[in-house]
Amino acid sequence: MASVDRVPGARYRARVLPFLLALLLLVVAPASAQPTAMGVEVLASYPHDARAFTQGLLLHDGALYESTGLVGRSSLRQVELTTGKVLRQKDLPPPLFGEGLAWTTDELVQLTWQSQRALRWDPATFAARGEWHYDGEGWGLCFDGKALVQSDGSHRLYFRDPATFALLRTLEVTENGQPVSRLNELECVGDTIYANVWLTDHIVAIAALSGVVRGAIDASGLLTADERQKIGSDAILNGIAFDPSNNTFLLTGKLWPKLFRVRFVPR
């Protein structure tokens, strides 16, 4: 019998089919159904700066960008994925606390926690392009191709004009009819918004049109017990970046020593 490597397209199918199956389970689930229970399959791990209080993570054209938090330690970074080396860094002055990060059509947008400022950056130089102001707190941010999607730690998501940051609509996120609060870092993938749930190792997959949670992803166990103990209770899972080249996700956390390439799989 021919080996998998010799069958044309077999390696591609082996890589893509689990993602497509998981996506199909999310799409076909009716609004009233229980969210699809999912876990993570670890495909690789990479070094990550254990001093980085990760608040935002994204991958664009193979380049990894990160927003870090804490007053006096907040920054915008470009990071080499395989080594964790910081290639470029723009520090944020106090009292700014960096939060979610998104790439729109031509610029990076970085939220701040309580300063009500959305910072705009030139991706090529990290030069400041200006800023927008908004009400409330800034937590997670992603771009769905048409709108910026913002979280503020509540059960609501805010869709904003990428040219002006004006509010377009508000979406309430629910699971089995109940609000899902503490939505944190975000990643937009097609018609699904993935969100870290603050203080947990869980990620929810949210239908962008209805706000219904279609998938509940348990990402616990990425770090060992010893690694968890060393970094402390504040060092929670936070950071989701989708890699469209192979339909995988990159996950890390605040002060984590590692970043993981994973696939979301049904449990």
Distance (Å, whole) CA 163 – CA 160: 9
Query: pLDDT tens across 231-254, in order?
Result: 887 789 999 999 999 999 999 999
**What mean pLDDT comes out for the span 136-153?**
98
Whether 237 and 227 have beta carbons less than 8 Å apart is answered as no
Residue 174: band (very low, low, confident or very high) from pLDDT cuts 50, 70, 90: very high
**Domain span including residue 50:** 4-266
Strand partners, 91: 75
Distance (Å, whole) CA 151 – CA 96: 18
Strand partners, 87: none
Higher pLDDT, 19 or 123: 123
Beta-carbon contacts of residue 205 (< 8 Å; ≥ 6 apart): 26, 35, 36, 38, 192, 193, 194, 213, 214, 215, 216, 217, 264
Is a pLDDT exceeding 70 seen at residue 36? yes
Order of strands, sheet of 183-189, starting from the edge strand that comes earlier in the sequence: 183-189, 192-197, 202-207, 213-218, 36-47, 258-266, 248-253, 237-243
Q: What total number of domains does the chain contain?
A: 1
Tokens (6 digits) for 63 = 């380049």
Predicted TM-score (pTM) of the model is 0.87
| Residue among 164, 131, 163, 137 nearest 150 (CA) | 137
Is a pLDDT exceeding 80 seen at residue 17? no
Other beta carbons less than 10 A from residue 107's beta carbon = 15
**What mean pLDDT comes out for the span 209-219?**
96
Task: Tell me what pLDDT residue 23 has.
Answer: 53
Distance (Å, whole) CA 71 – CA 112: 10
Lowest mean pLDDT among 28-37, 115-124, 194-203, 241-250: 28-37
Tokens (6 digits) for 24 = 């199909």
- What CATH number does the domain containing 227 carry? 2.120.10.30
- Report which DSSP code applies to 171: E
